[in-house]
Amino acid sequence: MDVQVLRCFVAVADGVTVTQAAAEARLTQPALSRALRRLEQEVGAQLFQQVGRVLRLTPAGRAFRDHADAALQRLDRGLRALQETVSPESGLIPLAFLHSLGTWLLPPLITGFRERFPLSRFELRQGSEAVLVESLLGGTADLLLTAGDPGHPLITWERLLTEPLWLAVPPGHRLARRRRARLAEVAEEPFILLRHEQGLRSVTEALCRAVGFTPRAGFEGDEVATLRGLVGAGLGVALVPRPHSAAPARGPSYLQVTDVEAARDIGIARLTSRTLPPNSERFLGHVRQHAVSVAAQEHSAAEES
């Protein structure tokens, strides 16, 4: 059974057109169509049916697709292990990360690691926490940088850092000129929140409940940057990490919360039962060292202030 054809089958099963799959495989469209028909003959069942101009999976195709994808993932892991045995310095590190960590935590991690191991390569995925957990469980990521423990029985998570959360209020807000505020002071105002599948949403709701109210959603977004922008536009308030780069001149004001400890844990996750490939294990050690260094810097800055 041809591995390239199996990859094309999975791609078409996932919605890629035959023309696109053929181009990516450097085949002509007729050649790939013939190869898919030969695959059907090999497995002894029709895998696709034509619906208009689109190919749809048959029941047999749906049953075969998951097994084919799992086989390809195992093959890819085997090829990675082989490559890292032959050339351990140039191994691939599949890493998933939360959107909001891509602007401040991820860049120095990768830069520092590649200074030590310049031939290493990264395959990066970003998204919501639910999507990233699936990438870890599905084997398309070795490690996951996220906020909070996913709480999955197959996943081991370890805390790296604690990131403060600030009360963001619009320019001109009655609290905007202050440096600190109680969260309870905005109990009656609309909150700009992440969607329910995002970890920061549950953290925000828990902190609000701790001071005696349930936040009223004025808008639900997908990224922390969106929340900051909408607060800056005057649509509500939010609990968010403070920007790690220069904030826009007309952006929100950020106030320290005084009536509850407002923070979220940043950590790294991996599958409990899986032994990491050498380069991913090496990167995990690098992440731990970086976290210790950042914590020491924050402690020193706190003492000086």
Over residues 286-301, the pLDDT tens digits come to 999 999 998 888 767 6
- Per the document, the length of the chain is 305
Q: Does 154 share its domain with 217?
A: no
pTM: 0.72
Residues 112 and 233 in one domain: no
pLDDT band at 103 (very low <50, low <70, confident <90, very high): confident
For the stretch 247-301, pLDDT in tens is 666 789 999 999 999 999 999 999 999 888 888 999 999 999 999 998 888 767 6
* CATH number assigned to the domain comprising residue 278: 3.40.190.10
| Tokens matching residue 19 | 């023309």
Instruction: State how many domains the chain has.
Output: 3
User: Which of 63, 83, 103 is the last residue in one of the domains?
Assistant: 83
Separation CA 261–CA 63 (nearest Å): 49
| pLDDT tier for residue 85 given thresholds of 50, 70 and 90 | low
Are both 214 and 242 inside the same structural domain? Answer: yes
Does 272 lie in the same domain as 144? Answer: yes
Share of the chain above pLDDT 90, in %: 68
Q: In angstroms, what CA-CA distances link 46 with 6, 34, 167, 215?
A: 15, 13, 58, 53
The SS3 call for residue 145 is strand
The DSSP symbol for 140 reads S
Q: Are 30 and 154 in a shared domain?
A: no
Same domain, 145 and 177: no
Distance (Å, whole) CA 264 – CA 241: 9
Q: How confident is the model at residue 87 (pLDDT cuts 50, 70, 90)?
A: low
At 274, is the secondary structure helix, strand, or coil? coil
- CATH number, residue 33: 1.10.10.10
Decide: 79 and 220 in contact? Cβ < 8 Å. Answer: no
Does residue 35 surpass a pLDDT of 90? Answer: yes
Shared-domain flag, residues 62 and 191: no
Give the domain extent around 185. Answer: 166-261
Looking at the structure, do residues 249 and 292 belong to the same domain, yes or no?
Answer: no
Q: Which of 36, 51, 83 is the C-terminal boundary of a domain?
A: 83
Residues 61, 210 within the same domain: no
Residues 280 and 197 in one domain: no
